[in-house]
Structure 1
Amino acid sequence: MAIIGQCAACESTSSTPTPFHDLEQRSRSGEIPNIHSVLVLQHGKTLAEWYLAGNDVEYGQGPGMVNHDATTLHDVRSISKSVVALLFGIAVSERAVKDLDVPVLDSFPEYADLRTPDRLRIRMRDLLSMTMGVAWDEDSVPYGDPRNSETAMDMAPDRYRYVLEQPILAPPGEKFQYSGACTALLAAILTRATGTPLDAYAQQKLWGPLAVTKQVWAKDTKGVPIAASGLRLTPRDMGKLGQMVLDHGRWNDQQVVPAAWIDDATALHALTEPDPKCGWGYGYHFWLSPGCIVTPPTPWYMAAGYGGQRIWVVPSRDLVVVVTAGNYERPDQSKIATSVLADVLAVVPAP
């Protein structure tokens, strides 16, 4: 059983600082900028936990300065994608989704005109690994700019047609391209296959079993949950997700997500960087790293969201690290977040 929120090591009864004292002070001083929370779990128990005030947004709007604490919901942005992948794995195990190798277009019979041979090669597993092969750009222009592919998708009269009619640039399954479109399609397939809206399915299959009582999934103007980035959670509940994944899908002696799916989701399905030694990889909506920021390298995988939201899972240390932050417009947001993990790994020994 994971014990999240009971932190014997967070306050020392003596004058001796905890191992995380320097990291906490650097985040409080602003040396590590705009960190809102840090939560460190090892062996399912809380080693460190702190919260800071900081400027935040709620799906692109307000609320401004927030005094974050253990009960404060925080945008997790693209961590939502990893949650969708976990839900998809549950649907696969329940046979609502029967085959990852069937064409994606089989789930969208209304687009009969798009059933060309090249588009019929796009499979569900290509969505999960973001190797769909269509033209897509979320990197060169900011979100909110209509030239950004995800923004254009959200503005389109029919978002699924918009995605599925994009030009094909590479054979499906061969080239990674980060894409909220893949998540949007997965969520639509999941909803059609289960007959249950995404947020309701999450409540049944994840939030209920994990005892997550406070969460929000933002919806678009049509009332559809924004699959790629709309979720808000507390850091402790982010920790529950990480701990459940670390424990091969189990939580409190219940198999919430099939262990085989956790193994698949956190296995390498696509290279995102050319460096075979220290480059990043991608699983099923989880990022994979060989962990070269420390010596010796310590592999981890993570769910990551824009602005510095992170759930890191480090199996060799039996470790989960959660960070929330407000670095939405900073080009170095990933570097800032990763510096927190590097500091944690420096003080948390292997089991």
Structure 2
Amino acid sequence: MVSTTPTIAYGKHTDLQIAALGETGFKSDPVKRFDDFEKSGRLAGLHGVVALRGGRIVFERYFDGNDMTWGRPLGNVRFGPDTLHDIRSVTKSIVGLLYGIALEEGRVPALDEPIIEQFPEYSDLASDPQRRRLTIRHALTMTLAMEWNENAPYTDAANSEIAMEQAQDRYRFILDRPILAEPGRGWIYSGGAVALLGKIIEQGTDQSLPEFASEKLFSPLGIDTIEWIRGQDGKASAASGLRMAPRSLARIGQMILDGGRSDGRSVVPKSWLDQSFQPAAMVDIGWPGMHYGYLWYVGEEAITDRTGTYGERFIAAIGNGGQRLFVFPRFDFVLAIATGNYDSPDQWRAPAALLYEVFLPSLTAT
């Protein structure tokens, strides 16, 4: 039912530099705090963590553990800097970057264009005036207001993403969902919305999603190896199919900190990043203090230091099992996390402990 693309290699690039001892930029050392949490079992399921400060690796750890890829057991894996890992729905955020690249090149429709017009093969659906109101922007912000349920486990056909993967025609399945409300006024998390965007990118670029991503995003960032899982219909999963190492994920975070640039060249237009990280969906997404931009979460964390308490803006990509990418622009800080707690109700615990109890206190200690 599931196949993967061959591992894609891109050529030689200088690796991320590891900061010298004493030059990490931390106000207090996170190592002891991390070790205490790890010994206590509060980081159960953690496979890898990479932290960057000022573009350099300031913390990196890996652990052996059981893993899987899209529900297929891999057994016990010895993780290291080059070991690939499912990033699940962090894939969505990367597709958001790809749409911005393709838009800048004039290869995909503008954001207020109707989605249904990009799928002329479904003329019967296009005759519905309600569906003609659904735009690219609605897909990017998860505000299509179409029926979609990803609350069930990702092993259950009651989960809409799984049902999409099992459908004879995934795009008709998505576009034919009932419309529940006024588009743009309610937030419904939807892998289907991202699948539509992935298809539009493929149509506009005349490349597969992995090919376009390799040429325009991964290779320019020096990301040497990835995999992109394909469904039973051979389509690369835009919703959750990417596998990459935490170092590679951290590179994407660093590119964001650098305004979309890497090695002196523009990779993602800065104007697109600026748009992507604004709270475009001014609706309740079920997470206090968090909003949603263009397939990225944006939030503000209350930080207290000797100057007082203030709001610290951050950007996040989040995936099932505890996959995380956090970017804190003012701290010049990136945190990439890979864990194996897929579908667990406690999957948030290890990433939350790492962010809030290990690294943020090290950045803000008085």
Shorter-chain TM-score bucket reads over 0.9
Alignment pair present for 1:281 and 2:291: yes
Are the aligned partners of 1:272 and 1:279 in contact in 2 as well (CA < 8 Å)?
A: no
Q: TM-score, normalised by structure 1?
A: 0.92
How far off is 1:29 after superposition? Answer: 5.0
Aligned with residue 359 of structure 2, among 341, 344, 347:
344
Q: Which runs of 4+ in 1 moved over 6 A?
A: none
Aligned pairs for 1:13-24 (under 5 A) are 18-24=29-35
Q: Whole-Å Cα distance in 1 between the matches of residues 348 and 324 of structure 2?
A: 10
**Structure 2 match to 1:8:** 20
**Which amino acid in the other structure matches residue 144 of structure 2?**
M
**Which amino acid in the other structure matches residue 69 of structure 1?**
G
Alignment pair present for 1:317 and 2:326: no
Q: Whole-Å Cα distance in 2 between the matches of residues 274 and 60 of structure 1?
A: 26
How far off is 1:31 after superposition? Answer: 2.5
Are the aligned partners of 1:128 and 1:285 in contact in 2 as well (CA < 8 Å)?
A: yes
Q: Whole-Å Cα distance in 2 between the matches of residues 236 and 196 of structure 1?
A: 26
Aligned with residue 203 of structure 1, among 214, 220, 232:
214
Q: TM-score, normalised by structure 2?
A: 0.89
**Structure 2 match to 1:246:** 257
Aligned with residue 74 of structure 2, among 50, 55, 63:
63
Are the aligned partners of 2:285 and 2:292 in contact in 1 as well (CA < 8 Å)?
A: no
**Structure 2 match to 1:219:** 230
1:323 counterpart SS class: strand
How far off is 1:5 after superposition? Answer: 4.5
**Structure 1 match to 2:7:** none
**Which amino acid in the other structure matches residue 149 of structure 1?**
S
Q: Summarize deviations over 1:179-213 as a string: whole Å, max 9, x none.
A: 10011000001101111110000111011101111
**Structure 2 match to 1:334:** 348
Q: Summarize deviations over 1:132-176 as a string: whole Å, max 9, x none.
A: 11011101x111211111111111111111111111001111111
Distance 1:292 1:64, change over 3 A: farther
Aligned with residue 237 of structure 1, among 228, 248, 255:
248
Aligned with residue 270 of structure 1, among 273, 281, 288:
281
Structure 2: runs of 5+ lacking an equivalent: 1-12
Structure 1: runs of 5+ lacking an equivalent: none
Alignment pair present for 1:135 and 2:147: yes
2:187 counterpart SS class: coil
RMSD: 2.3
**Structure 1 match to 2:38:** 27
**Which amino acid in the other structure matches residue 363 of structure 2?**
V
2:163 counterpart SS class: helix
**Which amino acid in the other structure matches residue 265 of structure 2?**
Q
How far off is 1:272 after superposition? Answer: 5.5
Q: Summarize deviations over 1:299-339 as a string: whole Å, max 9, x none.
A: 21111110001110011211101111111132121233122
How far off is 1:25 after superposition? Answer: 3.9
Aligned pairs for 1:286-305 (under 5 A) are 286-292=296-302, 296-305=310-319
Q: Summarize deviations over 1:247-280 as a string: whole Å, max 9, x none.
A: 111111110000000111111111453799x421
Distance 1:28 1:203, change over 3 A: farther
Q: Summarize deviations over 1:40-70 as a string: whole Å, max 9, x none.
A: 1111111111111111111211212111110
2:106 counterpart SS class: coil
**Structure 2 match to 1:119:** 131
Q: Whole-Å Cα distance in 2 between the matches of residues 216 and 302 of structure 1?
A: 22
**Structure 1 match to 2:10:** none
